[in-house]
Amino acid sequence: MNNSSSSQVALKNLKGQAWAPRWWVVLLIGLALWGAAVGSVFVTGDLIVLPTVFLLGSFLVPVTAVVWYLDHDPDPVLSPRRILSAFLIAGVLGLLAAAFLEYWLVYGPGLRGNLKVGLIEEFVKGVAIVVLALGLRSYTTRAGMALGAAVGFGFAALESSGYALAALFVVQGQHLTLSLSSVVFTELIRGVLAPFGHGLWSAILGGVIFHAAARKGQLRPAWSILVAYLGVSLLHGAFDIFGSVTAYIVISIIGLVPLLYLWLRQDRGLPFMRRPQPVTVTA
């Protein structure tokens, strides 16, 4: 009897514990540390601090987004370990796989090249979502969106660090110079856009994948997954093709519509799906 009571008390204490620190604490502390690192490089010119600027600026918003999920209403099916694995391991492997596929299949920039990049990167992230979903006891749309967002944010964080490194080198005339201001500008822009890019697209795809799996209790192919994959790939390609602020806002709004729809509708039937009709029983 005592053992049962102590177990119940321990369970209540465990449920009362936060899974992660408050997201706004992570954001404010990370922003302050990033600002301090940038100021240090500006004042001292010490290049050793540059990797700190790259990593803090690139990971701040994605990490904050993941902490926000863990801090609010985490799905009991998705453990913190699986979410962190999606962010780190799937992010790294997804970025490497996308780099190799783009090296083999994408020939130069332009409309066709950007569309290929969108198709490749969303495919790689979709595969990562499916692999990470193996072995789950159940599938819900919101859990799929959370897992997909974690994969997307991990991918975005690592990709942004690469863009920040590339922005450091600026060609002026025939000379190669280092531009910290370009790094800061790049990280600010990509930090603001991070929630409306990879994280959003992967969340939509993950939600649709889990929605299809929820009906049968296991992962399975479905036409809705193909439609979602092509849709997020087109959004991704358009994001790369159009470089204006207005275009980014429009594309972000377009992406938010299916995201909010999936989140609010959850596991009810998606549009255009055939629903079972009630059978009339006569006496």
The domain locations on the chain are 77-265
Per-residue model confidence as pLDDT tens digits over 201-235: 999 999 999 999 987 778 989 999 999 999 999 99
Q: How far apart are the first and last CA of the chain?
A: 54
- Residues 182-195, mean pLDDT to the nearest whole number: 92
For the cut 70, the answer to whether the pLDDT of residue 274 exceeds it is no
Please name the helix (run of DSSP H) or strand (run of DSSP E) that holds residue 88, with its range, or none.
helix 80-105
14-28, 81-95, 217-231, 232-246: segment of lowest average pLDDT: 14-28
What pTM value is reported for the model? Answer: 0.85
pLDDT band at 144 (very low <50, low <70, confident <90, very high): very high
Highest mean pLDDT among 3-7, 237-241, 242-246: 237-241
In degrees, to the nearest 5, what angle opens at C-alpha 231 toward C-alphas 225 and 235?
145
81 has pLDDT over 70: yes
In this predicted structure, what is the pLDDT of residue 115? 94
Q: What pLDDT does 166 receive?
A: 93
Q: Which long-range contacts (CB under 8 A, 24 or more apart) does 269-278 make?
A: 270/208, 270/211, 270/224, 273/224
The answer, yes or no, to whether residue 154 has pLDDT greater than 90, is: yes
Q: How confident is the model at residue 62 (pLDDT cuts 50, 70, 90)?
A: very high
User: What would the two tokens of residue 60 be?
Assistant: 């701040």
Report the distance separating Cα 75 and Cα 68, nearest Å: 13
Average pLDDT, the chain: 86
What pLDDT is recorded for position 225?
Answer: 96
pLDDT of residue 124: 97
Calculate the alpha carbon distances from 194 to 13, 25, 118, 281 in Å.
Answer: 35, 19, 16, 54
Least confidently predicted of 2-16, 17-31, 53-67, 174-188? 2-16
Contact 82, 132 (CB under 8 A): yes
Distance of CA 189 to the CA centre of its chain: 16
Mean pLDDT of 168-172: 87
Pairwise pLDDT comparison (273 vs 41), residue with the higher score: 41
Percent of the chain's residues with pLDDT above 70: 86
pLDDT band at 152 (very low <50, low <70, confident <90, very high): very high
> DSSP 3-state assignment of 172?
strand
Q: What is the pLDDT of residues 29-61, one digit of tens each?
A: 999 999 999 999 999 999 999 999 999 999 999
pLDDT of residue 176: 84
**Does the structure show a pLDDT above 70 at 15?**
no
Q: How far apart are CA 127 and CA 147, in angstroms?
A: 12
- Mean pLDDT value across residues 7-36: 71
